[in-house]
Amino acid sequence: MKGLPAFVGNAIRRSSRVVLRISRFLGRPELTAVRRYGTAVISVGVAVGIALLLRHDRLPHPFTTFSFAAIAITFWCGGTGPGLLALLLSYLALRDLFVPINIIAPSSEYFLVLYGIYGAAVSWFSASRRRAERLLTEARNHLELRVAERTIELKETNKELQEIHAELRREKDRLKLLLDLNNSLVSNLELRDLLREISASVRRLMQCDSVGVNLPDPEIGELKLFALDFPGAKGFLREGVLRPPDSLAGRVFSTGEPVTFRVGEAPLSVEEADFEREGLQAACWVPLISRARVLGVLGLSRLEATPFSPDDVSFLMQVANQVAIAVENALAYGEITGLKDKLAQEKLYLEDEIRTNANFEEVVGTSPALQRVLKLVETVAPTNSTVLICGETGTGKELIARAIHNLSPRSPKTFVKLNCAALPAGLLESELFGHEKGAFTGAIAQHMGRLELANQGTLFLDEVGEIPLELQPKLLRVLQEREFERLGGTRPIRTDVRLIAATNRDLAAMVQEQKFRADLFFRLNVFPVELPPLRERPEDIPVLVRHFAEEFSRRMNRTIESISLETMNALCQYSWPGNIRELQNVIERSVILSSGPSLNVPVAELFSRTGPAPGNDQAQAKSTRRTPVRSILAEVDGDQIIRALKEADGRVGGPGGAAARLGLKRTTFVTRMKKLGIERSHASERDGAGTDASDSADNSAVLNSYTNVSPSK
């Protein structure tokens, strides 16, 4: 009995090894039936073997128990068929090997019934287990299938949700970009700053590396990279780069259709080869269209070879429309600001002219010397040629320049004047050409120069001989190339301005002395006009005295009705070194000093500077007799009206009529004719008398003949 456990243990180990080897062999799928029915044979064989071994060692051998275990194992592992086979084999082994020696000696039918009942019970349990396992397997498989399907559905739903979330986020970002663009339109009207801000916003949203806005250059007509946002630029792409018409950007600008391309696939022009040097792989050009007009091109580029999708292009077209509106508004704002500044400058100049000119714009006088000058003015005014007006100080050079402007096609535009002797060289350059912000200390804003202000108008440069030598080449460039640059600026500005220069110096002598550039002198001296001094046209002095006396008496609320004959004679004999300006100042002072209706002219003070006053003993012996100034001026008017009618062949109105020759309106001329009782036929009757009076060397004799005319006439 003591050796039984060791024996059983050895037997179990041996049998386990055998079973393991057999199971490995029978584990293949094609041997499933062999494995099932082999289980029955092996199980019963093992039970028989154990019983025989126990019997051989004369030990108890409960074969029935062993066989029941073998049958149960077979039913459990192999199923009903192998279990019935194990039941049959156990019955046969019991009947043939073990039943005869049993003490009780039951009949074989008894064991048959016993095995039948046990086999039925075990078979039922086995079938139930297998059915339960099958149901569980089917349920598990169905559950796994449902779980797999549900997992796939959840994955797909999650993917769709992620796509929807990404799409919503993208739409939100795009809407935010459009909102930012609209806010930029309202908050920023400076074009370059606005486009830089827009480019940065588009670059962040579209996940690009470079965004630029190309606008046509107004000077050359080609596209220019106006604003660029490229943090990783190497320097090949920069603001100011030109895009020729045959480039991709130029074709987009001309056709108005967007273009996407890869740098390695699309043929690029020489100018756009900078894309390759910058390392850009994919790009997109979108036109900026507003009101059916292409204003520019929006360019986007990426360092990665990720092309722009049709959806990206569609959204970029929406962005481009907003950018086009921004560009249009900014351009309009810049144009309006420029016009506003120009109007403000023109207003200042006009106000200054009104104050300084004192409404003496009319050219007064009918002397032959002055008429020759006016003929030259009528000849050169319709052209755009440069005019050089020479003459002494105070001869009316600015009035002649204004007359040229008023008779020219540029008369609706601005007449801008600049006195070159009134400003130092630094300020003269700034006033003439303008300056940029920060060009020098104190330049806190951009300043528009006189050349830019007088665009399409007339620029009058007084005292042109005072322009410094270092500034003369820039003025020469304006006359030759019609362009200039502001002080501190690099962009050339085109201008269409007519230049009228005036000087009281001998520019030819200054050229010989190398104080004035010869090439600039030749450009200025295209059409010279020489103004005669007042001493060379004394017949205009009475008319000028009348004009100034009436003007100043009206301004000062005075009444001047008469002037002494000696005073008028002295004024006509005076040399007037200061010319008309001096005469104007003298008459103004005289009106101030005159307390009564007669004009009190300080003649002695005039001749104290040049010599004794003219006169004779008879004139000094005569009592000072006042002659009404209206009578004197009336006869002067009558003689001038008759002379003008004779020169105009009796024609009153029109450019060459008598009224125009006297610088009067037609209605004023006719009124004076009626007042003096002059008809057109009187021109031939008094032709000789008028000519003799005008050609007389002694103006005092002329005035003496006028004193006999009654004031009523």
**Distance from C-alpha of 68 to C-alpha of 47, rounded to nearest angstrom:** 9
Q: Please indicate, yes or no, whether residues 222 and 130 belong to a single structural domain of this protein.
A: no
Q: Which of 118-122, 348-352, 455-459, 612-616 is predicted least confidently? A: 612-616
Q: Please indicate, yes or no, whether residues 251 and 135 belong to a single structural domain of this protein.
A: no
Predicted local confidence at residue 708, as pLDDT: 32
Q: Please indicate, yes or no, whether residues 517 and 545 belong to a single structural domain of this protein.
A: no
How does residue 654 score in pLDDT terms, banded at 50, 70 and 90? confident
Mean pLDDT of 420-446: 83
Asked if residue 108 is part of any domain, the answer here is yes
Could you read off the pLDDT of 86-145 as tens digits, one per residue?
A: 777 777 776 666 655 444 444 555 566 666 676 676 677 667 767 777 788 888 888 888
Could you read off the pLDDT of 4-55 as tens digits, one per residue?
A: 566 666 766 776 676 566 556 555 656 666 666 776 677 777 777 766 766 6
Max avg pLDDT among 87-101, 478-492, 609-623: 478-492
Predicted local confidence at residue 488, as pLDDT: 84
State the maximum Cα–Cα separation within the chain, in Å, rounded to a whole number: 203
> Could you tell me the pTM of the whole model?
0.47
How does residue 694 score in pLDDT terms, banded at 50, 70 and 90? very low
Q: Please indicate, yes or no, whether residues 550 and 683 belong to a single structural domain of this protein.
A: yes
- On the question of pLDDT at 503 being above 90, the answer is yes
Q: Please indicate, yes or no, whether residues 528 and 542 belong to a single structural domain of this protein.
A: no
Three-state secondary structure string covering 660-705: HHCCCCHHHHHHHHHHHCCCCCHHHHCHHHHHHHHHCCCHHHHHHH
Asked if residue 299 is part of any domain, the answer here is yes
Task: Assign 382 to helix, strand or coil.
Answer: coil
Bigger pLDDT: 129 vs 643: 643
Asked if residue 156 is part of any domain, the answer here is no
Predicted local confidence at residue 706, as pLDDT: 31
> What is the tally of structural domains in the chain?
4
Q: What is the CATH number of the domain that holds 623?
A: 1.10.8.60
Predicted local confidence at residue 96, as pLDDT: 66
Burial environment of residue 292 by CB neighbours within 10 A (0 to 12, 13 to 18, 19 or more) = exposed
Contact 568, 606 (CB under 8 A): no
How many beta carbons lie within 10 A of that of residue 679, not counting itself?
A: 12
Residue from 348, 485, 332 nearest 414 by CA: 348
Asked if residue 184 is part of any domain, the answer here is no
**Distance from C-alpha of 300 to C-alpha of 295, rounded to nearest angstrom:** 17
Q: Which of 18-32, 268-282, 459-473, 645-659 is predicted least confidently? A: 18-32
- On the question of pLDDT at 343 being above 60, the answer is yes
**395-432: buried (b, 16+ CB within 10 Å) or exposed (e) per residue?**
bbbbbbbbbbbebbebeebbbbbbbbeeeeeeebbbbb
Residues in the chain: 713
**Distance from C-alpha of 296 to C-alpha of 227, rounded to nearest angstrom:** 12
How many beta carbons lie within 10 A of that of residue 677, not counting itself?
A: 9
Predicted local confidence at residue 268, as pLDDT: 59
Could you read off the pLDDT of 306-337 as tens digits, one per residue?
A: 888 888 888 888 888 878 877 887 777 777 87
How many beta carbons lie within 10 A of that of residue 126, not counting itself?
A: 21
How does residue 711 score in pLDDT terms, banded at 50, 70 and 90? very low
Asked if residue 492 is part of any domain, the answer here is yes
Q: Please indicate, yes or no, whether residues 327 and 386 belong to a single structural domain of this protein.
A: no
Tokens of 352: 């200054």
Cα dihedral 284, 289, 293, 298, rounded to 10, equals: -40
- On the question of pLDDT at 515 being above 70, the answer is yes
Q: Please indicate, yes or no, whether residues 464 and 568 belong to a single structural domain of this protein.
A: no
**Distance from C-alpha of 211 to C-alpha of 202, rounded to nearest angstrom:** 7
Asked if residue 295 is part of any domain, the answer here is yes
**Distance from C-alpha of 96 to C-alpha of 559, rounded to nearest angstrom:** 174
Q: Please indicate, yes or no, whether residues 53 and 133 belong to a single structural domain of this protein.
A: yes
- On the question of pLDDT at 618 being above 80, the answer is no
Task: Assign 369 to helix, strand or coil.
Answer: helix
DSSP letter for each residue of 475-524: HHHHHHHSEE--BT--S-EE---EEEEEESS-HHHHHHTTSS-HHHHHHH
How many beta carbons lie within 10 A of that of residue 651, not counting itself?
A: 15
* Domain boundary pick from 146, 169, 184: 146
Strand residues in 267-310 grouped as ranges (E): 282-290, 293-302
Could you read off the pLDDT of 48-84 as tens digits, one per residue?
A: 776 676 666 565 556 666 666 777 677 666 666 777 7
Q: Which of 182-186, 300-304, 410-414, 561-565 is predicted least confidently? A: 182-186
Max avg pLDDT among 307-321, 337-351, 471-485: 471-485
Bigger pLDDT: 366 vs 531: 531
Q: What is the CATH number of the domain that holds 398?
A: 3.40.50.300
Asked if residue 90 is part of any domain, the answer here is yes
Predicted local confidence at residue 95, as pLDDT: 66
The mean of the pLDDT values for the chain is: 75
Cβ within 8 Å of residue 499, ≥6 positions away: 386, 387, 458, 459, 461, 478, 479, 524
Mean pLDDT of 399-418: 89
Predicted local confidence at residue 264, as pLDDT: 66
Could you give the percent of the chain with pLDDT greater than 70?
70
Mean pLDDT of 504-516: 91
DSSP letter for each residue of 606-648: HHHHHSPPP--HHHHHS---EEEHHHHHHHHHHHHHHHHHHHT
Tokens of 26: 């029978």
Could you read off the pLDDT of 228-238 as tens digits, one per residue?
A: 888 877 777 77
Asked if residue 346 is part of any domain, the answer here is no
How many beta carbons lie within 10 A of that of residue 532, not counting itself?
A: 19
Residue from 527, 506, 293, 529 nearest 398 by CA: 529
**Distance from C-alpha of 93 to C-alpha of 98, rounded to nearest angstrom:** 7
- On the question of pLDDT at 390 being above 90, the answer is yes
Q: Please indicate, yes or no, whether residues 65 and 206 belong to a single structural domain of this protein.
A: no
Task: Give residue 564's domain range.
Answer: 538-706
Q: Please indicate, yes or no, whether residues 201 and 126 belong to a single structural domain of this protein.
A: no
Q: Please indicate, yes or no, whether residues 249 and 124 belong to a single structural domain of this protein.
A: no
Q: Please indicate, yes or no, whether residues 602 and 684 belong to a single structural domain of this protein.
A: yes
